[in-house]
Amino acid sequence: MRVPSPVSRTSGLMALAIAAGALAATVFRPAAAASPMARCAVGDTALVRDILYFGRNTPAGAELSDSVWQQYVDEVLTPRFPAGLTIWDAAGQWRGASGTVERERSKVLTLLHSGDARSDSLVAEAVGEYKRRFAQEAVLRERVTTCSRF
């Protein structure tokens, strides 16, 4: 049985590292841009579904109250999306810039819209206002095209 030399072991480790890097680049590469709208069945409407995740912890260590959240809904969300939206309670966690994993009660908003520039702008405004009002580092926005029927 042949014992590999330190040079061949090093070469093998480098090859393994390069292969792992290539795999990581492949696995974690962002998906190619999908077509802007889904192909829907007759009777369905192609819409964009945005799901927004709002953490309720503040940098000061407090939690946004239900009444403060409702005020944000009434003043920011409802005027921008009068056609409707859905909100539910969630328990979330994330690691922000501090590096600490933070667990917090959250609100999740589902919103269906046309996906045009105006709708996009309204979603961005709502996210920006939440971050500004409550000194939030981030609001997660998840977006997909979907076929819907009312």
d(CA 29, CA 18): 16
Share of the chain above pLDDT 90, in %: 67
Residue 36 domain flag:
no
Number of domains making up the chain: 2
Q: Are residues 93 and 54 in the same domain?
A: yes
Domain extent for 14: 1-30
- Tokens for 106, please give them: 């959250």
Residue 83 domain flag:
yes
> What CATH code is carried by the domain that includes residue 97?
3.30.70.120
- Which range, of 12-16, 67-71, 74-78, 87-91, averages the lowest pLDDT? 12-16
Q: Are residues 121 and 65 in the same domain?
A: yes
Per-residue confidence at 28, pLDDT binned at 50, 70, 90?
Answer: very low
How many helices, marked H, and strands, marked E, lie in the chain? 4, 4
Residue 38 is predicted with a pLDDT of 62
Q: Are residues 74 and 139 in the same domain?
A: yes
Query: Nearest to residue 81, comparing CAs of 129, 10, 26?
Result: 129
pLDDT of 148 > 80? The answer is yes
Residue 40 domain flag:
no
Residue 150 is predicted with a pLDDT of 87
